[in-house]
Amino acid sequence: DTEVTQTPKHLVMGMTNKKSLKCEQHMGHRAMYWYKQKAKKPPELMFVYSYEKLSINESVPSRFSPECPNSSLLNLHLHALQPEDSALYLCASSQGMGPTLFGPGTRLTVL
């Protein structure tokens, strides 16, 4: 298995909802990432997990809460989001000198 998978593919939520994005990889990668991408822009790094520990938080608002239950899974818990949080959320993983590989993304719309 040489890919990163993400669920759901699309998510529509209200500003009072709580939802979670899920990411999974079975390549043995020990670093996992969450990126946010707005239309016509490059991805922006949100969080980095290294060996299941949060190593980088790029000043992301607390309404985004990451979780790494084990070395293969990465979650992003969403609560009280704003319409400007609508974006494509990308998960990625890497290991050692290997490249960073991205999942297909979750298209999030906040109403």
Give the interface with another protein as residue ranges (CB under 8 A).
4, 6, 29-31, 33, 40-43, 45, 48-51, 55-56, 88, 90, 92, 94-97, 99-105, 107
Q: Which is nearer to another protein, 6 or 85 (CB)?
A: 6
Could you give the strand order of the β-sheet that contains 73-79, starting from the edge strand earlier in sequence? 4-7, 18-25, 73-79, 64-70
Nearer to another protein, 27 or 80 (CB): 27
Closest CA to 23 of 90, 74, 60, 68: 74
What CA–CA distance (Å, rounded) separates 23 from 26? Answer: 11
Cα 2 to Cα 33: distance, rounded to the nearest angstrom: 16
Shortest spacing between CB 59 and another protein, in angstroms? 14
Minimum distance of another protein from residue 80's CB (angstroms): 26
Pick between residue 18 and residue 55 the one whose CB is nearest to another protein: 55
Nearer to another protein, 80 or 102 (CB): 102
Cβ 4 vs Cβ 103: under 8 Å: yes
CB of 85 to another protein, least distance (A): 18
